[in-house]
Structure 1
Amino acid sequence: MVKVSQHKSLNCAFNTVQRVFSANIEQAIQKLSEQSLIEYYNGAEFLAKIGQGDALSISFLKTMPWIGEFYGDGSIQKIVNFAYQKISRTPNKRAVEPFLNSFIDVIEHTNNDQLDQYLNLIEYHLSKTTFSVHGIHDTYASPSLIVMLDNMNLLLEQLEFEGIYEWINYGLRYFQDHPERQKEYFSLSSADSKAVFQRQRKGLLFNDIEREINLFQCALWKTDFMYAPYSPNFEKLEHFHPYLEDSVIRLPDIYEPLNGINACKRYMALVAHLIVHHQFTTKIVADNISPQQRFFTEIFEDARVEYLAIQTYPGLKNLWLSLIPIVDEFDCDDKHQSCLRHRAIMLIRALLDENHPYKNQIILDYVEKFKRLMNLGETETLDSLSLGFGYLIKTRSASDALASVYFENTEVTYRDDNRSMWLFIEKFDEEDNIFERQKKSEEDEEGIEVIPAHYYDEWDYVYEAYKPDWAAVYERLHSHTNALKIEQILDKHSILVKQLKKVLDLLKPQNKKRLRYQEEGAELDLDIALRSVIDIKNGSQPDTRINVNFEHDSRSVSVLLLLDLSESLNEVVGQSGQTILELSQEAVSLLAWAVEQLGDNFAIAGFNSDTRKKIMYYHIKGYNEHWDDAVKARLADLKAEFSTRMGAAIRHGTHYLNLQQSDKKLMLILTDGEPADIDVHDPKTLIQDTRKAVQESQQKGMYPYCISLDKKADEYIADIFGSHYSVIDRVESLPQELPKLFLSLTK
């Protein structure tokens, strides 16, 4: 046993190790107990003698004083034993140095009683990924241990140990026998790895509360903006802020509680702020405005729109204030650092909180100016510009330009990047050829996906587990052509239309709801008409809305017709000379006409796929659209191409159908074959995934029903839809059968 007090050098032949030892021994003596110091000496000497050069001892000497201090006596010896027995004596010798270096990150993100948990984790990964060609001895190093150790800081920062095991197991499940793909997965560079990682993180996933947030924005503002979550961890977007643009809300995919406020309320605060910006903010040309001027203008505009929202919903005030930090007025030293953000956060708090603690006279003056402005009633974004300019002029300091900036506790996490209030005049915007450029842009837009992809899990029936964010669904408004084609279809089936009309008259709801104040209507509203006559005689402007109309009020049905638009629909049917696609167009035209007569809430969408990375979802008719020429023009331009990844399409259709407020929600899936795609070789994979998607839809209160045109459908369709399907053997009869089937399902 080495006596610490007797030795000032190591029994080691490496001069480099001796130099590092001399540089670190005093620190080690200060941090470590007598026993841990002995472990420190012995460990450094031992690692220098196992035939791997000086690098291991150098890493060990630099890191172990902190490790031994944190984990206590016995921990250094335990790490040395593990490094030698579990790593160095296997084909993984190269991993010993990264293993030792990883502890700098490990002690930052673990408790002092979790050393064994970390060592067990590394041993588990090693045992599963070190392999042999002949299966007797380990002959090949783990392809992924070193890259996983390189990412240990991120793993331990974002995941609990249980989550890391789940992430490891997913990688082993699919890539254990593929060294290159395994390395890619454990380096956190593949999409699969990132998706599984995201699901295991600490906090609340936005996907888990999307419905609640949707109901929140719908209830308060009657809006239905879509969401596109982002993950800053992998896109290096640490300073990326949420925003609302093109009717899409970009927001973080996960939130943890903050200042005692749970993650769900944080999402509510964020969405509320974005929507009130959308309602009350108008754009300002920003080209001649400096960044600091924009910065303070944004602060006043944020306060203005929130003040307006609080007049309608007072409860929002406490929600927003709970997420705005309070800093001490004298925290920032403006002689040595820029206090721009410090001044800003005090102003942000003071503008909304009448009980703020600040005494700065300029802040108090501008809070008073802001309140006077808001009490006038009519305000606009330009008012915020004026206040921002004035505040900056009054508070500007030479220290604002210092490189050292006061950042501590100055971020308001629920606020966006304010892109909605700035208009930048781009190069070429004022040239003579601007209209030509605009036209070209519109033509080019045909091939661009402007809405971010929606990612859906896909069910793996072999492992009975989901593959997270596996399928990417891109939305698009379907292209259009001449609507006359659909009118000709209705004329062609005029006899069937007459037959359907008789059935529809019987199905129409008999209860009626009176709609008053109509320009045109079924009856005269005598009360309003008499009042208008009196107004005329008094020389006043009469109310011309003197009629009453009626609408049916007892049929509460929402329907989504989901069309398979895969390549196989181009097949010609029998002797008719028509393709399945053309017959589907006829059937859908008749069905759409029938549903319009009934007044049901009805949408039409189509889908096809080109691998899991590109599933197209085409909007043909929206729930809020009527059966008009615009819808007919889209339906007339249907095209059949690519494959049929049905599960993802059903999940996306379920998302929209679930937003409807009807008592009965019916999803009709019209297809001519089984689910399939070119990147899937096991035919059961997509069949079982579609089955799972149908079950998910049913659990949400929807009724998926399949109309199959495939003569071989009996081999698989019951597996997917149970008893909720019909097979139409004679495809030529589809135009007659589809409307009748719909009517029978919605009686």
Structure 2
Amino acid sequence: MSDAVTMHEPHGFPPEWQDRWHVAHSRIEQAGYGELVAAAYRRAGPELAARIGPAFAVRLASAISQVAIRSGRLAASLVPQAALLASRRFQGTVAMDSWAAALDQTARQAPEGVLPLLENTGKLVAALDAPGFIAFVRMGLHLADGNPERRRAFFALESAEAVRLIEGTAGDGGLAELRHGLGLFLGALWGISPPIAEAPPDAPEQMRRRPGFGGGGLRLPSAFAGFGGDEAKLLYRAAVAHIGAHHRFTRTKFPVAELKPMQIALVSLIEDARIEMLASRSMPGLSRLWRRFHVARPEGPAVAIALMARLSRALADPDYEDPHAWVKKGRALFEKAAREDVDNQQLSRRIGGLLGNDIGQMRLQFDARAYVVQPPYRDDNLGIWDFERDDDQVPVEIKTMLEGARIDQRVGDDGRREEAEDGDTERGKLVEAQDDDRSVVTNYPEYDHVTGRYRPNWCQVREMPGQIDSLGIAAALREARSDLVDRLTGLIKASRINRQQRVRGQTEGEFIDIDAGIDAMIARRAGAAPDTRVYCRYERRSRDMSVLLLIDSSRSTTERMRGSTSTVLEMERLSTALLARAMTDVGDAFAIAAFCSNGREDVRYERVKDFGRPFDAGALDRLAGLVGDYSTRLGAVMRHAGNDLRSQKSYRRLLMIVTDGEPSDIDVDDPDYLAEDARAAVHELNRDGIDVFSVVLDSAAESYARRIFGPKGMVRLDSIDRLPDLLPGLYLRMRA
């Protein structure tokens, strides 16, 4: 045995494990990995044995050997120290065995990622628990179709996706786990349900640290630094409640005109206080919720940003006292204006302007680039200002504040301009199809069934202009199978998908109308003949339903259906035309769109007919002009189509997908990946009260359809004549 081994007795090992420990570190020493690796293992082994157990300390030798062989000596020398860091966070043998197994797997599948993974162990274990660390490693291993450089960047935390994952799970109460509950909370308070997005990682720091809104959606930080657990949950609730108050009480946007950044910030501050005062009148609990996050104190240097935080607290907390004359003046002006007419939004403009002039007279500096709204639940206020997008006179400081907060145009790979808007979320924001060459781009997450997590902003859905029929197909669709249209119309009318309505003044019914009963008793005691129509019942009297028909236009739809001379696309066009003609006769609101994909960054969504538009010759021409091309990335387009349906106020909303095959795309090898993402999208839509149903036009895809939509959420259609037989079952399930 070498002198080195003799000098390092295994003090952390019980007697029965000492021989195994000597064998383990002797094997490392004699393997030729170098003294750096051997010394690191000898130093860490006893502490790991005491902390986790001797079995783990001995087992770590295998991990060191794997890493040394596949990733080099430098990486191997970092394994023992990384194990110590992980053991201080991950409690127990099971968690540490999982950590070591993840390291082994990384060495086998992505040796280029082992060194950066070990170098970042401190950051990772500080932000992630043991299951989160395993999920992080798995996501890195499945990234970029095995591209070594992108995997290395992921483990080095140079990838935006890796950073989002770490920031989104750092501590308790991150946005990822609270998003659904925040939507319910916002709906309960203000009766609105805008999509909630995570702030993009490439946005300016101010936008990543504070909430924001615009374009029909909310933007929230992935996590609030320094807040965790219940406090983080309350902070997120305070944020969405504040934005909801803007939605209710900030009626119009303030024009920027010639205002300076300081004045914009102060007008926004006063407006924040005004809308919170109005909201607290009907919901006093909101005042207590917001007040807990005002922590400014009446001491410290009198710099502009600190004084603004103190004024914010003074306007929100009547018990707060501040000796500074500027803060006292701001409070006095606000209280006087609020007593006179707090509903007048212009008081914010007037008071903010006055206070801004005072700051200028005091020669206090204001750095718009570094300014972050206080307290942290308040949004960045970009959503309440009307910034002229083409105004070259806007100061550079304001342009910095605006970066990423409004629609911008960029050139896509196909040379066309694309538009993206801040505030879009995993639900995104749907806009009407354009007649010019622009395509609207919206980012959506995608569910990774391997890691059990969503990949934020992973897919880009691009709205494409519809092609016009050039082969005379529309004329055939306009007249085809009128007999089936009549049958479908009758079936749809008979379904009565609507809200129940209370019908009063009945001689018999399900319950008594209290008002009518009182009137009858008064008439009887007055000696008059009482009206005996004192009952009520519920009836379904009018239709109240919206349907979006989503058509698969991937390349596989150009193949012929089994046992038929027609292609799948021809069957899709015909069945959609028949349903559209029938729903037009009934009067149901409906829309039609088609989709295909060419990788996650080019998911195409082609509008055929929008809600509120007639199914006219133009819509029929676009339906007839559909051509089959590319692949079938289903989950992203379902989320995109869901936004159209969310905007409908109907009693029932249905997304009907007409497709021929399993989800697939050129950048995905795992056959289960897109199917599981599509199934997750179905659950998301169901939670929002949207029914999802699939009509499958080829039996080969039935197994995937059952997996995605469930046995009651799909039917297989092999002949157009079977459509009237299948439709009643769908409407019957919706009524249930």
Contact 1:509 1:553 in 2 (8 A): no
Pair 1:414-2:378 in alignment = yes
The offset of 1:347, in angstroms, is: 0.4
Aligned to 1:423: 387
Aligned to 1:680: 668
Superimposed CA distance per residue, residues 8-50 of structure 1 (whole angstroms, 9 cap, x where no aligned partner):
xxxxxxxxxxxxxxxxxxxxxxxxxxxxxxxxxxxxxxx9xx9
- Note closer, same or farther for the CA distance 1:296–1:709 as it changes in structure 2 (3 Å cut): same
Query: How do 1:576-595 residues align onto structure 2 when only pairs under 5 Å count?
Result: 580-581=568-569, 583-595=571-583
2:205 match: secondary structure: coil
Aligned to 1:243: 212
Letter in 1 for 2:195: M
Choose which of 640, 651, 670 in structure 1 pairs with 2:658: 670
How far, CA to CA, are the matches of 2:371 and 2:683 in structure 1? 49
Pair 1:726-2:725 in alignment = no
Aligned to 1:163: 132
How far, CA to CA, are the matches of 1:56 and 1:409 in structure 2? 52
Letter in 1 for 2:196: Y
Aligned to 2:272: 302
Choose which of 299, 309, 333 in structure 2 pairs with 1:369: 333
The share of aligned pairs that are identical, in percent, is: 24
How far, CA to CA, are the matches of 1:502 and 1:188 in structure 2? 60
Letter in 1 for 2:301: D
Contact 1:261 1:322 in 2 (8 A): no
How far, CA to CA, are the matches of 1:507 and 1:118 in structure 2? 55
Contact 1:570 1:581 in 2 (8 A): yes
Contact 2:497 2:545 in 1 (8 A): no
Choose which of 444, 456, 476 in structure 1 pairs with 2:463: 476
Structure ranking higher on relative contact order (CA contacts 8 Å, 6+ apart)? 2
Pair 1:144-2:124 in alignment = no
- Note closer, same or farther for the CA distance 1:254–1:631 as it changes in structure 2 (3 Å cut): farther
Query: How do 1:21-100 residues align onto structure 2 when only pairs under 5 Å count?
Result: 90=68, 92-95=72-75
- Note closer, same or farther for the CA distance 1:292–1:118 as it changes in structure 2 (3 Å cut): farther
Structure 2 alignment gaps of length 5 or more: 1-28, 395-407, 419-435, 504-538
Letter in 2 for 1:729: D
Aligned to 1:710: 698
Aligned to 1:342: 306
1:250 match: secondary structure: strand
The offset of 1:344, in angstroms, is: 0.7
Superimposed CA distance per residue, residues 610-661 of structure 1 (whole angstroms, 9 cap, x where no aligned partner):
1234333455556676757886676566453321123444465567768878
Letter in 2 for 1:671: T
Contact 2:663 2:674 in 1 (8 A): yes
Contact 1:477 1:620 in 2 (8 A): no
How far, CA to CA, are the matches of 1:716 and 1:161 in structure 2? 33
Aligned to 2:421: none
1:474 match: secondary structure: strand
Pair 1:230-2:215 in alignment = no
Query: How do 1:421-500 residues align onto structure 2 when only pairs under 5 Å count?
Result: 421-424=385-388, 426-427=390-391, 444=417, 450=440, 452-460=442-450, 468-469=455-456, 472-474=459-461, 476=463, 479=466, 489-500=477-488
Query: How do 1:548-627 residues align onto structure 2 when only pairs under 5 Å count?
Result: 553=541, 559-570=547-558, 580-581=568-569, 583-598=571-586, 600=588, 602-618=590-606, 620=608
How far, CA to CA, are the matches of 1:408 and 1:581 in structure 2? 53
Aligned to 2:320: 356
Superimposed CA distance per residue, residues 62-114 of structure 1 (whole angstroms, 9 cap, x where no aligned partner):
xx9xx9xxx9xx99xx9x999999869946442488789989xx99x997998
- Note closer, same or farther for the CA distance 1:491–1:410 as it changes in structure 2 (3 Å cut): closer
The offset of 1:151, in angstroms, is: 2.9
Aligned to 2:400: none
How far, CA to CA, are the matches of 2:121 and 2:410 in structure 1? 48
The offset of 1:563, in angstroms, is: 1.5
Structure 1 vs Structure 2 CA RMSD: 5.7
Contact 2:174 2:223 in 1 (8 A): yes
Aligned to 1:333: 301
How far, CA to CA, are the matches of 1:130 and 1:509 in structure 2? 57
Letter in 2 for 1:726: V
Structure 1 alignment gaps of length 5 or more: 1-46, 133-140, 431-437, 516-550
Letter in 2 for 1:94: L
The offset of 1:448, in angstroms, is: 5.7
- Note closer, same or farther for the CA distance 1:638–1:113 as it changes in structure 2 (3 Å cut): closer
Contact 1:603 1:620 in 2 (8 A): yes
Pair 1:154-2:142 in alignment = no
Contact 2:485 2:579 in 1 (8 A): no
Pair 1:746-2:734 in alignment = no
Contact 1:508 1:598 in 2 (8 A): no
1:562 match: secondary structure: strand
- Note closer, same or farther for the CA distance 1:329–1:254 as it changes in structure 2 (3 Å cut): closer
Pair 1:289-2:259 in alignment = yes
Contact 1:459 1:692 in 2 (8 A): no
Letter in 2 for 1:454: Y
Letter in 2 for 1:347: L
Superimposed CA distance per residue, residues 107-147 of structure 1 (whole angstroms, 9 cap, x where no aligned partner):
9x997998999998986665554569xxxxxxxx9533431
Contact 2:551 2:593 in 1 (8 A): yes
2:112 match: secondary structure: coil
The offset of 1:204, in angstroms, is: 3.1
Aligned to 1:394: 358
Contact 1:458 1:470 in 2 (8 A): no
How far, CA to CA, are the matches of 1:726 and 1:119 in structure 2? 47
- Note closer, same or farther for the CA distance 1:391–1:153 as it changes in structure 2 (3 Å cut): farther
- Note closer, same or farther for the CA distance 1:408–1:727 as it changes in structure 2 (3 Å cut): closer
How far, CA to CA, are the matches of 1:176 and 1:496 in structure 2? 47
How far, CA to CA, are the matches of 2:35 and 2:707 in structure 1? 62
Contact 1:504 1:597 in 2 (8 A): no
Contact 2:291 2:316 in 1 (8 A): yes
- Note closer, same or farther for the CA distance 1:406–1:473 as it changes in structure 2 (3 Å cut): closer
After TM superposition, the score normalised by the length of structure 1 is: 0.65
How far, CA to CA, are the matches of 1:474 and 1:176 in structure 2? 20
How far, CA to CA, are the matches of 1:419 and 1:211 in structure 2? 23
Superimposed CA distance per residue, residues 581-624 of structure 1 (whole angstroms, 9 cap, x where no aligned partner):
45533432331343355455645443221123433345555667
Aligned to 2:404: none
Choose which of 271, 288, 292 in structure 2 pairs with 1:322: 292
